[in-house]
Amino acid sequence: MTYRRIARLVGLAFTCALVAVPPAGAASGVAPGAPGAPALWTSGDKDGFGTSTAPASTVWHTLGGGELTEVYYPDLGTPAVRDLQFVVSDGKSWVDREREDTRHSLSLTDPRSLSYRQVNTDPDRRYRITKTYTTDPRRSVLLIRVHFESLTKKPLRLYALYDPSLSGNGDDDSGSTAGTALVASDAKAASALVAAPAFTKTSNGYLGASDGWSDLQADDAMDFNYASAPNGNVVQTGRLELTGKAGSQDATLALSFGTSASAARSAAYASLADGYGTAERAYQSGWHDYLAGRSRPRSVAGHKALYDVSLMVLAASEDKTYRGAVIASPTMAWVWGLIPGYNGPYHLVWSRDLYEIATAQIAAGDRAAAGRALDYLWTRQQQADGCLPQNSNLDGSPHWGGLQLDEVADPILLASQLGRTDAGTWSHVQRAAECILAKGPATQERWENATGYSPASIGAEIAGLVCAAQIAQANGASEEAARYRSIADDWRSRLDHWTVTTNGPLSSSPYFLRLSVDGDANAGTAYTIADGGPTVDQRTVVDPSFLELVRLGVLRADDPDVLSTLPVVDRELGVDTPNGTFWRRFNHDGYGETPDGRPFGTNDGIGRLWPIFAGERGEYELAAGQLTGNVAAARAAATTRLDAIANTANDGLMLPEQVWDDNPPAGTDGRTPGTGTGSATPLGWTHAQFVRLAWSIDAGRPVERSSLVSCRYGGPC
């Protein structure tokens, strides 16, 4: 008999044993308290994010606060789990929930794969829980290896507390016990939670009424044993056969998904039969293969692990059903996680974020991924009039109703960077360019909540038209090429009038505004800052985004208006932190935590500092160094910016959308200035900016800048 046949028989026996073992006390009855408290999501600041590189495994997991947080299935736009954590009790006098009651640490177990270990330790030194995670590349199954230690050597009890939220909505799930498995389902999907050794007791209940935590809090023991909890916000509980003493410390959990409960159960048993180690080796091998042959830039010599993780985060953020669809972040940050039945905008596809990610992937050598991104933008997002939506669901259908013309220009710029000039590309480029001409130059700008003449947006439009002209020329469309160039030149000539004030109160020298709402930058026109901001004179609001004009080649780095705006932006928006200098988006920004630390969503928030601006400033410094000839000094300055971004990474090497500044509650309760807030983490854009700046430092210039645009407007060719 061959070893392979023996292994198959052993695996079959193991699977049968799992199915056959009955629970110690058979569950019965329907849980009371339906439908339970409303289903919400966890905090947006994740410590870890992972998925297999294999297309067959359509499950993604996130980690935060010492627990498993949102899991996505069957695609990256659909959260299917709120959280899974463990509860510890002595059965008589105390009970702890690991999220609230332990000290958390997290680390990568393999820096060349998205593999994590969480260690949660009781402050009173009674127990420690160590968890490692891997996704089975062959199935939509997440495996959790658990090591539970009683530090006092006394026997303890360990429970898994699982909160499914299938199909993006946790208020309509039904939970039940099937043998020793906990299964949940709704009209579209199902999950199964299975343990090896098997759960000795299970129960299904409703959040806040009959769930396991409500039960255990009452008398430190598991009394509930409900067989089902139909149609509500279901929480499922399973007691593990572990005491924490030697010989009773290790278990593996399989959290699996499928279109039916039986399919989910079968997948869970199959993965457990194969074993955690088998899945982990295949999982890590997939990421090793992805990174193999991709050289690192010299500039990341001190940040090799962060660079590798950044590349993997970008790759992991691509959906496996809608190829090329890359989400902004696998999170529901702030208010977006606190609205029942709504999942927020971060696991949508934004043309801008996708462009930032794709340009980083081009720099890193993953042109295939960038190509899929462009194909997605053209075939899924582009609409009949040539425009692209503000954002979209994974299938390309518009989600919000806005139009931002930089997002229409971005795929044109990406096509140019990829060297795509074929007739099929031209048909899409032509329609996008015509959208820009019909709708521009005024547009909703890249921060979503104001419309007008934005230097950053118009810069993208101008660059997009110049690149569209080149693609038109390659397809014999000389008339269109001439028209695009002519309008690009005309808009560039009007930039000063539209976006540079010479009589504003922030400087006696000219400076770029965030935007002018009426096309006259010297007019004292007032507009209201969104997210609870004041009504202000447009000349009192600036934004670091004007540097898009330099990075895209529309203006030279030594343009007088650029030079005179830099000190204004630094004074108004820059903050020096222990981790480096960072900038806010604009004056009076309200998109951030409140002064007392509550999540954004109440119109009294404070917009904090964005690490992406450190990257954009570094790219500007490289462009300036090209003109002065002092490339070495420019590289040194840009490296300082690269280090600043790296310093914002958390223990799992996730980079945030925002970091704490010098406003309350910064500086209290671990909110160190320059470290991540509760904002979306990881943010793909931040990881992309880190990668692209690193390659730009090596090149001594912004690698994203189009030579077509730069040459046309007097910059380096």
Residues serving a catalytic function are: 445, 448
- Cα–Cα distance, 700 to 334 (Å, whole number): 38
> Phi, psi at residue 489, to the nearest 5°?
-65, -40
Q: By CB neighbour count within 10 A (0-12 exposed, 13-18 middle, 19+ buried), where does 377 fall?
A: buried
- Cα–Cα distance, 489 to 271 (Å, whole number): 60
Q: Give all strands (DSSP E) within 404-447, no chain letters.
A: 443-444
Q: Is 634 helix (H, G, I), strand (E, B) or coil?
A: helix
> Phi, psi at residue 150, to the nearest 5°?
-85, 110
Packing angle of the helix pair 367-376, 351-364 (nearest 10 deg):
160
Q: Residues 518, 549: contact at Cβ < 8 Å?
A: no
Q: Is 352 helix (H, G, I), strand (E, B) or coil?
A: helix
Among 370, 305, 323, 320, smallest CA distance to 53 is for 320
Count of C-beta atoms within a 10 Å radius of residue 640: 15
- Cα–Cα distance, 213 to 205 (Å, whole number): 10
- Cα–Cα distance, 343 to 200 (Å, whole number): 35
**Single-letter residue type at 559:** D
> Phi, psi at residue 571, to the nearest 5°?
-70, -40
Q: Give all strands (DSSP E) within 60-172, no chain letters.
A: 60-64, 67-72, 79-89, 95-97, 103-110, 115-121, 127-135, 141-150, 157-164
Residue whose pair of structure tokens reads 């949940």 in the numeric block: 184
- Cα–Cα distance, 489 to 172 (Å, whole number): 56
Task: Give the residue ranges of DSSP H helices in 22-152.
Answer: 98-101
Structure-token pair, residue 51: 């998925």
- Cα–Cα distance, 141 to 50 (Å, whole number): 12
CA dihedral 708, 710, 711, 712 (to 10 degrees): 80
Rg, the chain, Cα only? 27
Handedness of CA 194, 200, 204, 210 (dihedral sign): negative
- Cα–Cα distance, 17 to 647 (Å, whole number): 49
Q: Is 619 helix (H, G, I), strand (E, B) or coil?
A: helix
